[in-house]
Chain A
Amino acid sequence: MSRSGRGRVVPYLLLLPGLLWLVLFFLAPAVQLAATSLYDPAGSLTSGYAMTWSFGNYPDAVAAYGAQLGRSFGYAGLATLLALLLGYPLAYVIALRAGRWQYLLLVCVVAPMFTSFLVRTLAWKTVLSDGGAVVGLLRDLHLLAPDGRLLATPAAVVTSLTYCYLPFMVLPLYASLQRLDPRLLEAAGDLFARPAQVFRRVTLPLSMPGVVAGTLLTFIPATGDYVNAELLGTPNEYMVGNVIDAAFLVRLDYPQGAALSVLLMVAILALVIGWLRRAGPAEAG
């Protein structure tokens, strides 16, 4: 009749492996990272680091690499917006208009992910190369100066970021649009809504969960991405990921790398919470 003692314990037992995993591989490193960010910046790997609660590491890091930090959010924001603008119509057509082609088109969206991230980015480099067809066409159309190029520009980094994360935008959008009841769209039309109003008042609000999930899945990894800026940009396009990469692996300035990492995490978290508050669940009419 009543639930046995074991019945009450089982859920916690089921949680245990996951919790352990999180504590070992997320919480502990995160604490270590935060601690590292407060180490004495004068230390080094050979002489060792002393915990001096050097909060000054943060303003120092921002002063030195504020531009890259800002660029990360700028590029990631732009790429997310582009991915949304490209991905929404795509997801809409696949979910509501594609009929029996639906699954084939979905496979096409996901297919690029079967190749390595690096290979894809390098392929993008070929596509945008100075002698490539895209640059040639843009030059012929006078959209690009005769000596203009795409590689080593912000445009290259942003378009490549968009390309890399587009599937993460399309899939959640597809999932929420696919659940949309077409009878609601008919009802809206019956109640004097023009097609644009049907979209604005019914389709879009009902697909907001997909928009929120898609933008988060695109924006968060794009902000921390450094491969695209590394391969397609110059130091002028470097993002905070490149700086952190260099701090840990080239300059061996662990406290600064850690401080930048923590800053990035906190900033993303703040943006995500703000976005969820605005567009998240229980969107009102």
Chain B
Amino acid sequence: MVVEEPSGALRLVGLSKRFGAVTVVDRLDLTVPAGSFFALLGPSGCGKTTTLRMVAGLTEPTGGRILLGDEDITRLRPYRRPVNTVFQSYALFPHLDVFENVAFGLRRRGVPEVAGQVRRMLSLVQLDGYERHRPEQLSGGQQQRVALARALVNRPRVLLLDEPLGALDLALRRRMQGELRRLRTEVGGTFVHVTHDQEEAMTLADTVAVMNAGRVEQLGTPAELYEFPATAFVATFLGRSNLLAGTVNGRSGDDLLVEAYGRRFSVPSARSRVDSGAVLLGVRPEKVRLVGTAEQVPAGHQWLDGTVTDVGYFGVSTEYSVRTGAGVELSVFAAADGESARIPAGSPVLAHWHPRHAFLLHHDPHHCLHHCLHHDLHDDAAAAAAAAAAAVRAGRE
């Protein structure tokens, strides 16, 4: 039933899920290479958890197929899939101790040598000696490890992680991220990680798919996504971006010329997703520098002038908000390298950047640019509640 073969990518072909009139996952095509650590990243309600549940067999797709290697598992019952899940709520069996929780999958499959495997797995997640503890006697982090061990002990072809670190506090979350990376190298196999935490996705995964409204907006390595986002959504969900609305009005060699807010900018065409019409010129806040006068702007850099309206001190960096003459708000991160003095609020400044750090995106005027620009860090509690609601919705069908 469960074949122990490492090969075989997980492929989602035209996968859809509708709950009534609401399309949660919309004709999703995705290939997760065997052996990769894959993150599905997106805001709550983007369909990532539903996608995961369809792979696990807990939610039935409305359309499309799920392939594991050459095998079509779309209609397989969950207990027949060589796939295991680490649930967001852990879902540990309260009537069983740690040992029996971890042994559960092995026992159901009638695997011999249960005790040895369970003990090895418990020591891998550093829970030796906790065999006879009940889940309610464990801390959140320990419960998390039991949930991981309970899934991993079955050597799943694909391990599904549903916001596994969402319920932990920040310090513990960082530690468990390291733990996950270590487990991944020791155990191997394909990991599919669902999260709304872009930092978690970037530090853990080797491939990230950014999901929005039931579709994948962009797929690539964390560096690819961050350095050259494909859409305004990705540019603002994965890290932050300054996006200037403008129009392409010419070309100069390998550069596209963009007019925005009455000024002319250039962007290398290799860093442009479009070459005409309405565009968004993007530049990451840490790529922007602030100087006092036009003479201080390095040659080849482009700039906007404005006034510092807010200064946020973060220790490793300082975040400035700059309101430009044209009325755009820019974010600027200045590394605390000890070279430059802090600029007080109210100072007139020039914000400048090198064109090779800019990128050009298609500007869909119907798109909620306002929302994207002011996209803030997600509220964990709200996201967890929304995910739980989605799970309930999914469970109800």
Contacts and interface: CB of A to CB of B under 8 A. Distances in A.
Interface of A: 99, 181-184, 186-194, 197, 201-202, 205-206, 283, 285
A191 B58 contact: no
B97 interface: yes
B261 interface: no
B147 to A, nearest CB: 9
A283 B79 CA distance: 26
Contacts of A283: 95
Interface in B60-114: 77-79, 83-85, 87, 89, 91-97, 100, 104-105, 108-109
B372 interface: no
B150 interface: yes
Looking at chain A's contact residues, is the secondary structure mostly helix, strand, loop, or mixed? helix
Contact of B108 (A181, A186, A191): A191
Interface of B: 2, 56-58, 77-79, 83-85, 87, 89, 91-97, 100, 104-105, 108-109, 150-151, 154, 391, 395-396
Given A184-B91, A184-B93, A190 B395 contact: no
B94 A191 contact: no
Given A184-B91, A192-B105, A201-B104, A285 B150 contact: no
The 4 lowest CB-CB distance pairs between A and B, nearest first, are A191-B105, A187-B91, A192-B108, A285-B96
A110 to B, nearest CB: 26
Given A191-B108, A206-B94, A285-B97, A186 B395 contact: yes
Contacts of A182: 395
Contacts of A206: 94-95
Contact of A183 (B78, B108, B154, B391): B391
Contacts of B87: 183, 186-187
A68 to B, nearest CB: 40
Contacts, number: 70
B395 A191 contact: no
Contacts of A186: 58, 78, 87, 91, 395
Contacts of A189: 57-58, 77-79
Contacts of B104: 188, 191, 193, 201
B93 A187 contact: yes
Nearest to A202: B93
Contact of B58 (A190, A192, A202): A190
A280 B91 CA distance: 24
A181 B94 CA distance: 10
Contacts of A192: 2, 79, 105, 108-109, 154
Nearest to B104: A191
Nearest to A204: B95
B93 A193 contact: no
Nearest to A192: B108
15 contacts: A183-B87, A184-B91, A184-B94, A186-B58, A187-B87, A187-B93, A189-B77, A190-B57, A190-B58, A190-B78, A190-B79, A190-B84, A190-B151, A192-B79, A202-B93
B53 to A, nearest CB: 9
Contacts of A197: 108
Nearest to A184: B91
A197 to B, nearest CB: 6
B97 to A, nearest CB: 7
B95 A191 contact: no
Contacts of A188: 93, 104
Contacts of B84: 190-191
Nearest to A191: B105
B281 to A, nearest CB: 46
Nearest to B392: A182
A182 B59 CA distance: 13
A205 B57 CA distance: 24
A192 B85 CA distance: 11
Contacts of B150: 191
B171 to A, nearest CB: 26
A191 B87 CA distance: 12
Contacts of B83: 190
A182 B396 CA distance: 10
